[in-house]
Amino acid sequence: MLGVKDPSLLRQRTLALLLAVVMLFGLAACGSAEEPVEPDQPAETPAEPVETTEVIIASTTSTEDSGLFEVLIPAFEADNPEYKISVVAVGTGQALEIGRNKDADVLLVHAKADEETFVAEGYGTDRQDVMYNDFVIVGPESDPAGIKDGDDAAAALKAIADAKAKFISRGDDSGTHKAELKLWAAAGIEPSGDWYDSIGQGMGDTLTMTSESEGYTIADRGTWLSMRDGLDLVIVVEGDPVLFNQYGVIPVTDANNQEGARAFADWIVSPAGQEVIRTYGVDVYGEPLFVPNAQ
């Protein structure tokens, strides 16, 4: 979702979109247009007390779904009025691809190995740890695999596979999906069969489908906490260290708004940013959703 709150920015974006559409049509016409297409009206430049520039963050749907950005972005913009943040929430894989195409200025994702490769290949300037949350295994109250109250994630997955209990996999190459695949590998199982549904969708849709199918899945705690009221699911396994999920921030090399990207990365690992993360979610869920751990 592209959240743009400033109306003047919205006007500029609308104009830019119109231009892009016109250019695409020109391209589609294969040069049949003799003259370059010009917009009828010149772009309006509204009077602004402070000149702001847009910083595009590519992040994951699970981060967006957790609601963290709703407090994080206003806090950052209050400290840095020269920047406006827009968030593109996609899967980790697509977020990294967007970064490679330099369509975003900074990434906030949670797939450490891929992130390090991303930086090593020169697409990102550097990577810093920001925070972690943890994954939980959730399932129906009836618990057909009999794994409730466990703390061994791999053993629980093995039990699910043995019972051929329904398991919904995100199957979307996301950080959560990668964590799930690592756990299956640890359990020594290659999941497949009628009980294992790979759906290629986001965390929210996956939880909804799991609830409807009375199955199990692995979810990040943030999304789980924000959605649990509408689901017929309970936590069956939590607390296993392998379920921890590290987030990193990476400014994109040669991005559009390098200063903005750097400013965001520096802010989120600063005491101010870390404090916002530490307190987020406590008022609503009675517990924080993320644990800040910037060095």
Partner 1 sequence: MNVFVEAVVTAARLTLEGSPALWGVIAVTFEVAIVSTVAGIVLGAPMGFLMGASRFRGRRVLVALTNTAMGIPPVVIGLIVMMVLSRKGPLGFMGLLYSVDAMSIAQTLISTPIIAGLVSAAVASVPGKLRLQARSLGASRVQEALLVLKEARLGVLAAIASGFGAVVRGVGAVMMVGGNIEGKTRVLTTAIVQESRMGNFGMALALGLLLMAITFAMNGFLTWYQHSNERYERG
- With CB under 8 A as the contact rule, the residue among 8, 12, 94, 293 that binds partner 1 is 94
Q: Tokens 């250019």, residue?
A: 23
C-alpha 90/C-alpha 11 separation (Å) is 25
Verify binding: residue 233, partner 1, rule CB under 8 A: no
Amino acid in position 55: V
Binding mask 21-60 for partner 1 (x = CB under 8 A): ----------------------------------------
We find the least distance from the C-beta atom of residue 75 to partner 1, in angstroms, to be 28
Taking the complex as a whole, how short is the minimal distance between the CB of residue 5 and partner 1, in angstroms?
25
C-alpha torsion angle, residues 217, 223, 226, 227 (rounded to 10): -30
Burial state string for 47-85 with b = 16 or more CB within 10 A and e = fewer than 16: eeeeebebbbbbbbbbbbbbbbbeebbebbbeebeebbb
| Both structure tokens of 48 | 């602004």
**Does residue 205 bind partner 1 (CB under 8 A)?**
yes
Least distance from partner 1 to the Cβ atom of residue 142, Å: 13
Binding flag, residue 265, partner 1 (CB under 8 A):
no
Binding span for partner 1 by CB under 8 A among 32-40, 88-96, 152-160, 261-269 = 88-96
Interaction between residue 116 and partner 1 (CB under 8 A): no
Rounded to whole angstroms, the maximal C-alpha distance in the chain is 71
Displacement of CA 97 from its chain's centroid (Å)? 13
- State yes or no: residue 88 binds partner 1 (CB under 8 A): no
Number of residues that bind partner 1 (CB under 8 A): 24
Q: Is 181 in the site for partner 1 (CB under 8 A)?
A: no
- Per rule CB under 8 A, is residue 209 in the interface with partner 1? yes
Q: Judged by CB under 8 A, does residue 231 bind partner 1?
A: no
- Using the rule CB under 8 A, which residue among 9, 186, 189, 199 binds partner 1? 199
Rule CB under 8 A: is residue 91 a binding residue for partner 1? yes
Indicate the residue among 84 and 170 with the shorter CB distance to partner 1.
170
Exposure pattern of 123-132 as b/e (b: 16+ CB <10 Å)? bbbebeebbb
Residue type for position 9 = L
Residue number, 96 or 137, with CB nearest to partner 1: 96
Least distance in Å: CB of 61 to partner 1?
8
Among the residue ranges 64-72, 92-100, 115-123, 247-255, the one whose residues contact partner 1 (CB under 8 A): 92-100
Q: Which residues contact 216 (CB under 8 A, 6 or more apart)?
A: 137, 138, 139, 140, 145, 160, 165, 166, 167, 168, 210, 236
Quick one: which of 62, 66, 93, 105 contacts partner 1 (CB under 8 A)?
93
Q: Is 197 in the site for partner 1 (CB under 8 A)?
A: yes
Q: Is the dihedral of CA 196, 201, 206, 208 positive or negative?
A: negative
Cβ–Cβ under 8 Å, residues 178 and 111: yes
Type of residue found at 14: T
Cβ atoms of 212 and 227 within 8 Å: the answer is: no
Nearer to partner 1, 150 or 191 (CB): 191
Q: Which residues bind partner 1 (CB under 8 A)?
A: 90-91, 93-98, 171-174, 197-202, 205, 209, 212-214, 232
